[in-house]
Copies of this chain bind each other. A is one copy, B any other.
Amino acid sequence: MKVFTNVKDLGDLNAALKEAFEIKKNRFGYKQLGTNKTVMLVFFNSSLRTRLSSQKAAMNLGMNTIVLDVNQGAWRLETERGVVMDGDKSEHLLEAIPVMGCYCDVIGVRSFARFENKQDDYTEKILNQFIRYSNRPVFSMEGATTHPLQAFADLITIEEYKTKARPKVVLTWAPHPRALPQAVPNSFADFMNEADVEFVITHPEGYELAPQFVRGARIEYHQDKAFEGADFIYAKNWSPFRDDIYGKVVNRDMSWTVDSRKMALTNDAFFMHCLPVRRNMIVTDDVIESPKSIVIPEAANREISCQTILKRMLESLS
């Protein structure tokens, strides 16, 4: 595996799940793979779960880890050719990225959408430059448009908790005070569309996600109706993808908050969220604290999804 940004990079999804569960049963069983190998984790944005789980996954595999926090203010990268670099950018990515590649075997990159230019965001400008110029396998630790380590962990979690062959999984928008990227819902849709689930997305009008991720998924604008018979409720805020309102907060409708009345409409569904979560905006205290809330085991599976990707990348090196 040379790149991990989307569900397709995993190939056969059932094989990937099987591999993940083998790793989960035997986390330290693959340490010879990582001996004398180094992963570099490059953060252009802050991180809690990804930072911790990626380090843990790499150490499980016996890898050395180097964490690099790129302070955007202090170390601004020039991205265009031909520029006379007499301003505040002291290094060009055309040098910085291959240099980072020199000192490691695998690179993880976190670089969020900036909401300045939809085209820049949706072409994954930063992440793709790492893929192109680092000369190393590169995995996304959340790019501008996808967060595949999260979605793979979500799928692992659904597989663990499901009680029927083909559960109904509902991705629901919920309100938030700030403009959030679409990376998590995009990747969740990307994965659910390939998984053996009945997948429904519910959100207010105007919050349609990008078609390349939604694909054939059913859209239901009536949240209550979407919840009926659901086995998993996956809550998440995102800002609009639509050109005219891209990356803006145009709706804070608190009637979309996931509460116990709505959960009662489901088939005793499990509650999921990628975290961090704004309580009583996205979800009420009682729902997230209920026995059906699986947000902590879901977070714990971030270690497993990352270790599966790292294992495959290590195998591709030898």
Contacts and interface: CB of A to CB of B under 8 A. Distances in A.
Contact of A48 (B92, B99, B275, B285): B99
A210 interface: no
Given A48-B96, A55-B66, A289-B94, A84 B280 contact: yes
Given A75-B48, A99-B275, A103-B303, A85 B281 contact: yes
B55 A296 contact: no
In this complex, the interface size class of chain A, counting residues with CB under 8 Å from chain B, is 35 or more
A15 interface: no
A300 interface: yes
A56 interface: yes
A87 interface: yes
A247 to B, nearest CB: 18
Contact of A280 (B60, B74, B85, B177): B85
A48 B86 CA distance: 20
A172 to B, nearest CB: 18
A233 to B, nearest CB: 17
B296 A103 contact: no
Contact of A103 (B56, B68, B84, B95): B56
A295 interface: yes
A141 to B, nearest CB: 14
Most interface-central of A52, A68, A87 (chain B CB within 10 A): A52
Contacts of A281: 84-86
Given A52-B103, A99-B299, A102-B299, A46 B68 contact: no
Contact of A68 (B52, B83, B98): B52
Interface string A76-101: 00100111111100111011101110
Contacts of A104: 52, 56
B285 A103 contact: no
16 contacts: A36-B60, A46-B75, A48-B99, A81-B279, A84-B281, A85-B281, A86-B177, A86-B281, A92-B277, A94-B289, A95-B277, A95-B296, A99-B296, A99-B299, A102-B299, A102-B300
Closest 4 A-B residue pairs measured CB to CB? A91-B276, A85-B278, A102-B300, A84-B280
